[in-house]
């Protein structure tokens, strides 16, 4: 059985996300940051007439803000840990869709690259590299999803 993995760059590191979590990918656009938006969000972008809050994944995982460039993208996902709206995740670049067999995937160690294992769904073995495949639907904690629900109308 094949798994479709969307590969992207984050802090000069190759990463992935299961394609079934992704609704669409858009070029980075400068967002607005309303006062009532929880601090862990970096702004809101308007996409197809819908306000979508987004998180800078470099800041979330590595504590450094992404410097927007031509290749910077926002991966828009369907729902996240109880929050029913779309959420965007800002990344350095989106590369391509990779078809991985079950033999290319393995369970992550308890603590990988300084991240909680709750973020990393699996490890993709590709060309001698171990690529973390994130579960973007688990980026928000329950408390953060509640805060977001209360601030976005």
What is the reported pTM?
A: 0.86
Mean pLDDT over all residues of the chain? Answer: 83
Any idea which fold 2-151 has?
OB fold (Dihydrolipoamide Acetyltransferase, E2P) (2.40.50)
Q: Partners of 91 in the beta sheet?
A: 73
User: What is the rounded distance in angstroms from the CA atom of residue 26 to the CA atom of residue 100?
Assistant: 24
Q: Give the domain ranges of the chain.
A: 2-151
User: What is the rounded distance in angstroms from the CA atom of residue 99 to the CA atom of residue 151?
Assistant: 38
Q: Is the pLDDT of residue 27 over 70?
A: yes
Integer-rounded Cα Rg, in Å, for the chain is 15
* Residue 28 three-state SS: coil
Residue 81's pLDDT band (cuts 50, 70, 90): low
Q: Is the pLDDT of residue 85 over 70?
A: yes
Predicted pLDDT at 80: 64
Predicted pLDDT at 14: 94
Other CB atoms within 10 Å distance of the CB of residue 143: 10
Q: What percent of the chain has pLDDT over 70?
A: 86
């Amino acid at each position: 059985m094949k798994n479709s993995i969307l590969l992207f760059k984050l802090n000069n590191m190759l990463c992935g996300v299961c394609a079934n979590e992704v609704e669409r990918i858009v070029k980075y656009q400068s967002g607005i940051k309303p006062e009532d938006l929880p601090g862990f969000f970096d702004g809101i972008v308007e996409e197809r007439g819908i306000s979508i809050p987004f998180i800078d994944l470099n800041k979330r995982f590595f504590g450094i803000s992404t410097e927007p460039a031509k290749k910077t993208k926002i991966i828009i996902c369907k729902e996240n840990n109880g929050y029913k709206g779309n959420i965007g995740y800002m990344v350095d670049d989106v590369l391509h869709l990779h078809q991985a067999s079950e033999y290319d995937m393995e369970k992550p160690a308890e603590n990988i690259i300084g991240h909680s294992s709750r973020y990393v769904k699996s490890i993709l073995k590709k060309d001698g590299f171990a690529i973390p495949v994130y579960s973007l639907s688990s980026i928000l904690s329950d408390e953060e999803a509640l805060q977001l629900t209360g601030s976005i109308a």
